[in-house]
Each structure stands twice: as structure tokens, then as C-alpha cells.
Amino acid sequence: MYLFKKTVLLILIVAIYSCKENTKSETVDKIGIQYDEPESVLPIERLKLPPGFKIEVYADSIDGARSMAMGENGTLFVGTRNENTVYALQDRDEDYKVDNVIVIDTTFEMPNGIAYKNGSLYVAEVGRLLRFDSIETRLNNAPKPKVIYDDYPTEFHHGWKYIAFGPDDKLYVPVGAPCNICDSTVSDKKFATITRMNADGSDREIYAHGVRNSVGFTWHPETKEFYFTDNGRDMLGDDTPPCELNKVTEVGQHFGYPFCHGGIVKDPEFGDQRPCEDFVAPIQAMGAHVAPLGIKFYTGNMFPESYKKYAFIAEHGSWNRSKKVGYKIAMVGIKDGIATSYETFIDGWLDEESQERFGRPVDILELKDGSFLISDDFGDAIYRVTYENEEVASNL
């Protein structure tokens, strides 16, 4: 991994040991990390963006940065997967560079999923869902979390979760299949689904079935329709099946797994049980093994107006392929609920020739000024993307 310039201040340490390969850390009461504004050695000059766009490092040394959620007072909360850590990031001088990092805790179990609502931080572990009340007033002394649910499956395979509150004020929580390919609903109907519930955990229900591993979803800003990414199965070759962008139009729809993939690919093990025609096909078949994760529709006013018709998707990148693909931010054009295009917005995290990578984008979050953030769990960074009309700027 790349090294970053920083000064570390450890406060009230009970004990901590952390590295990329570890999946558990010792208990720690409180850790604050104070460091200079990012002077990262990540080679972001390799990143290619459309004319007028710019990308900079917003925060570095955020080990394993994945899902992001913004607090009411401007605190950026960041979850992780293998690092078992949740961070609180602050830009105290409002210069769009993080200047203070607080570690909320290092003893979570794969806290990939985080969400913020009404002053509370929600954290999804593998088997349970937690809530930290009044969190922004207690960043340096986080309260003991309240357990909302502790009966989600405990299997680690696809056990990490992405969570978010919808326009209906319900909390949406996916449950991945505990395998590459299996009919896991035989043992627990919550597997391979997306669930939803009230903020207090009441009235939980299965919202969508047949979802292998969704680690990103959002709602259309106008229609409020639910869109989610899904990672296709492995071990069927380099180019099949496609990963997916799906749209839910009614509660209880089934999206094919494990019987059919991408709306067209009959599974060799389970495909004889049910035909592809039984299921909702994706609105966009994405590249095989690109691993689409975070997705957001652009709603701000910084980018050109035309970008508001796109869903931006973080393609984390392949592992089950002879030549890597993904490692970029893609755009899917949406008109009247139908995908009209699938193209690249940012790439360059992967060197196509050497096949070496310096980053893997995970999640996307829009800021109030219309710029957006991208988390990277391989480069341990968060980037900020801005747009400046170069023609107008040159005439000022």
C-alpha cells in the first residue's frame, strides 16, 4: 500500500493492533487521529475525467474506507469491511480537506454499512444492526449503541451490508447469499434479499428477492423509484454473467438469483428449476465481474445540467477474471425509468497494460456544494470531484 504523511495521536488506548490482513482489533476506548491536510502520494494524475472535471484527495490514510454517510453538522462517517472500524471525519476549516479524524470504534464485525438519521448513526454488522444516538455531540466519547436487530444471518460470505434510509423513512438492509451460488433461502428466507423496516426496527419485511449481493442502492430523485446494483456470480468464465443495475417497481419482486443471471443467463446448477422469464430482468446489464457497488443520481448544481439524467456507479473491480475490469466510476443514463446508455465517467485506477491498480472505488456521496465524494478501500482514501467551466473561468 501507499504511505501517507500524517501524525498520529493516540488517546486513552486500551490496546490496538491493526493491519489489512487482520479481521479483528483489540478493544479501544477512544482514538483521535490528527494529521496535516492530505498530501497523498496516490498517483491521481493518472485518473481520466471529462473536460472541466477535477479530482482531488479529500482525505487520506482512511484504512479500508467504504460506505459513507453525512451527519447534520458536517461530520462524514465512514464504514469499513475487514478493518472493523467506523470513522468520523471533520473538515473544520471548511476548505474541503479533512483535518480531523476520530475513530468511533475498532471492534465492529464488518461494519461496511452506515446510515445517519435524526442525530443517530446506524451501523450494520454481519449479524446485527446498531444505533448510536446523538453521535455528533459525542464523537470523542461515543455512547453505547442500542441493538435494533441481532437476528440477521451471521455468515461472513457476502455478510457485509450497505444500508440507507429511503424517501419513505424506512431503513433498507440487504442480506447477501452466503456463497457464490446456492439456494440459501432453503435455510433462511432472508438470504439473497433486500429487507426494510422502520427506524426503530419495527415492521421488518422482505422488499426484494433473488438478489445475490447488493452493496449499493439509491432512489431516483424525482420518481422515488428504488435502484440497486448486484454482483453477478463467479466461476462461469471471463465474460459471463453480467453484473446488474436493477429497478424495483413493487414490493416482493424476484430478480433471478440463483436460477437466472442478468435476465438471460440460465444458471448451470439451478437454471432448470425456474426459467429466466419468471424474474425481473436488470434495466442495465453491466460488465461481467466489474463489481458495481455504490450508486447515486446526481442532483446538485455544480455539474452541467445534462449530468442529472445519469446514475453514477462505483465499479469496485474484478478478481475472478484473467484480465481485470472495472476499477472506475461508470454512468448509466436513465430516461423514463429505462437505461439509455452505459459509459465511463472516471477511470485510471487500473493500469490496463501492467494490470496494476492503485485504487478501488466503493461509494459515492454528494456534498451540499454539488461536488461529490468517492471512497476507495484499496488506496485508503476519499476523493472529491468538482467541475469548473474552463471557458467561463478563462474569461473572468
Model pLDDT for residues 252-303, shown as the tens digit of each residue: 999 999 999 999 999 999 999 999 999 999 999 999 999 999 999 999 999 9
Give the number of residues written for the chain. 396
The answer to whether residue 13 scores a pLDDT higher than 90 is no
How far CA 16 is from CA of 22, 31, 32, in Å, comes to: 11, 10, 13
Cell numbers at residue 298, please?
Answer: 446526481
pLDDT exceeds 60 at position 331: yes
38 and 379 Cβ atoms separated by less than 8 Å: no
Structure-block grid coordinates of residue 207: 422488499
Kindly tell me the sign of the dihedral angle through the C-alpha atoms of 81, 86, 87, 88: positive
With a cut of 50, say whether residue 29 has pLDDT above it. Answer: no
What is the domain range of residue 77? 31-394
Residue 24: predicted pLDDT: 33
Domains identified in the chain, total number = 1
Q: What is the pLDDT of residue 40?
A: 73
For residue 202, pLDDT over 60 is answered with: yes
What is the CATH classification number for the domain harbouring 304? 2.120.10.30
Query: Please, how many CA atoms are within 13 Å of residue 98, restricted to the half-sphere of its CB?
Result: 30
Contact (Cβ atoms closer than 8 angstroms) between residue 329 and residue 313: yes
Do the domain assignments include residue 330?
yes
Mean pLDDT value across residues 325-343: 97
Supply the pLDDT for residue 122.
98
Straight-line distance from the first to the last Cα atom of the chain, in angstroms, rounded to the nearest whole number: 42
Q: Is the pLDDT of residue 123 over 50?
A: yes
In a domain, 23, yes or no: no
Cβ atoms within 10 A of the Cβ of 121, count? 27
In the predicted structure, residue 34 carries a pLDDT above the cut 90: no
DSSP β-bridge partners for residue 285: 244
Mean pLDDT on 198-203: 96
Q: Is the pLDDT of residue 346 over 50?
A: yes
CA distance 258 to 57: 39
348: Cβ contacts below 8 Å, ≥ 6 apart:
46, 47, 48, 328
Q: Could you tell me the pLDDT band of residue 389, with boundaries at 50, 70 and 90?
A: confident
At 39, the pLDDT band (50, 70, 90 cuts) reads low
Q: Is residue 13 part of a domain?
A: no
**Does residue 8 belong to any structural domain of this protein?**
no
pTM, two decimals, is 0.90
Distance of alpha carbon 283 from alpha carbon 340, whole angstroms? 9
In a domain, 316, yes or no: yes
- State the Cα–Cα distance between residues 82 and 380, nearest whole angstrom: 12
C-alpha cell at 225: 423509484
Contact 327, 357 (CB under 8 A): yes
